[in-house]
Amino acid sequence: MCTRVAHTATVRKRTRLPTASDPARQPAPTPARHGPVEAGPGHTGPTSPTVAAPPRSPLFHATAPAAHDSGEPAGVGDNGRMPAQDTPAPHSDEPHSVDPDRTDRTDGRTHPQHPRQQPHEHPRTAELTGRWNRLLLAARDAPHGPDPEPYARDLLRRWAEPQRRYHTTDHLAAVLDRLDELGHDTVHASDPCAVQLAAWFHDAVYRPDRSENEERSAALAERALPEAGVPDSRTVEVARLVRLTVTHDPAPGDTNGETLCDADLAVLAGTPEEYARYAARVREEYDFVPEDVFRAGRGNVLRQLLALPRLYRTPHGAEHWESRARHNLHAELTLLLD
C-alpha cells in the first residue's frame, strides 16, 4: 500500500487522543439549521500565525472570528496531549470548560452550543476501522507497534463530534473514496500512505468558530503518529499536508499535496443535488453567522475560487471535476446574488 521509509521508528506507549466528547472537552456547539442552498462559511476570521492567510476554502475555515484567538501559535498541551478546546489553562493541557450560553470574558460574545449527545455509529465504521488498521500497519517501518484499532476509534470519535454538520465522518469517507479514485489508474502521489494519513487527520480537530483547526490537527498528527510507530520523516510529511489544506494551493510538483487537495475539493464537482446538500450542511455548521454576513463572505470565497486558473491539479481531477465544479460555483454565486 505504501512506500516504506528505511529507518526504525521508536514505539511509545499509546496515549489516548482526547476528544471533544470527553467531559470538560466538549466543543462549543452550533444549533442545527436547515438553511437555503446558497450556503457556505461566513466571513474570514484571524488565521493561525503559523500559516499563510490566502483566500480560504469554502469547505474549511472561512470562519467567523475566534473569540479565543490570542495570536499565539496553536499546539499541544504541556504533556503532549492535544486539547480539544482552543484555549488551555496556563501551564496545563486542560481547556477552559464550555458552559451553555457561556459569554467570553474578553469580548462579551456568546458561543453557540450543541446539546451533549453520544454520536450514533456511522454505517461505515467497521469498513473505515479496517482501512485505518491496514494503513497504519503499512505506514510503519517496523513490524511491531501499538494496536492500530484504538487510534481508529479515537479519530472516528472526533469526526463524529456534535458540532459538525459538513466536516463529519461522511466527509472523511468521501475524501478517502476520492483518493481511491485518483489512484485507480495511476498513483499520482509520491507517498500514498502519507496522503491517506493526512486525510484522516486533516479535520480531526474542528470547531467552526475557530481558525486554528488545521494547525491543531497537524499537531495532533505530530503527536500520535510517532507514538503509533510511523517514522519521523513520514510524520513530518503528513503534518505538512494537513497544514496545506488551509490554502489548497500545492506548489508545482508537489504530487502529494495535489492529490490530497484535489480529493478534499472534489465535493465541489458533485451533481447539482450533491452540491446542494454539501452547501446546506456548511450553512448549518456556520449557523451562528448572520445571514447577510454569511452571504457576503461566501460570495467572496466563491469569486476567489472562480478566479483561480485551475481548481484541480491532478490529471484526473482536471479532466473529470474541473468543469462540473465551476458550474456549481457559478450557480451558487448566482443564487447568493438573487
Residue 204 has pLDDT above 90, yes or no: yes
Proportion of the chain in helix, strand, coil states, percent, rounded to 5: 45, 0, 55
Fold for the domain defined by 125-337:
Catalytic domain of cyclic nucleotide phosphodiesterase 4b2b (1.10.1300)
How confident is residue 1, by pLDDT bands cut at 50, 70 and 90? low
Identify the burial level of 137 via C-beta atoms within 10 angstroms of its C-beta, where 0-12 means exposed, 13-18 middle and 19 or more buried. Answer: middle
- Judge whether 57 and 175 are in contact, CB under 8 Å: no
- Judge whether 20 and 158 are in contact, CB under 8 Å: yes
pLDDT tens sequence across 283-322: 999 999 999 999 999 999 999 999 999 999 999 999 999 9
Q: Average pLDDT in the 259-283 region?
A: 97
Tell me the C-alpha distance between 312 and 60, whole Å: 16
Q: DSSP strand E in the chain: where?
A: none
Residues in contact with 27: Cβ distance below 8 Å, sequence separation at least 6, in sequence order: 20, 84, 85, 98, 114, 161, 162, 163, 207
Tell me the C-alpha distance between 220 and 82, whole Å: 6
Instruction: Supply φ then ψ for residue 28, to 5 degrees.
Output: -70, 110
pLDDT tens sequence across 208-222: 999 999 999 999 999
By C-alpha distance, which of 165, 179, 202, 176 is closest to 282?
165
Q: Which 3 state secondary structure label does DSSP give 290?
A: coil
pTM: 0.70
- pLDDT at position 184 is 83
Identify the burial level of 329 via C-beta atoms within 10 angstroms of its C-beta, where 0-12 means exposed, 13-18 middle and 19 or more buried. Answer: buried
Tell me the C-alpha distance between 188 and 13, whole Å: 34
CA–CA–CA angle 214, 218, 220 (5° rounding): 115
Percent residues over pLDDT 70 in the chain: 65
DSSP assignment string, 160-220:
T-TT-SSSSHHHHHHHHHHHHHHTSSS---S-HHHHHHHHHHTTSS--TT-S-HHHHHHHH
Q: What is the CA radius of gyration of the chain?
A: 19
Q: Which 3 state secondary structure label does DSSP give 141?
A: coil
How confident is residue 248, by pLDDT bands cut at 50, 70 and 90? very high
- The label of the residue with cell 442552498 reads 37
Tell me the three cell numbers of residue 317.
Answer: 481531477
- pLDDT at position 2 is 67
Q: Average pLDDT in the 184-201 region?
A: 93
By C-alpha distance, which of 276, 316, 33 is closest to 184?
316
DSSP assignment string, 98-164:
--TTPBPTTT-PBPP-PPP-PPPPPTTHHHHHHHHHHHHHHH-SSS--S-SHHHHHHHHHHHT-TT-
Q: Average pLDDT in the 227-243 region?
A: 98
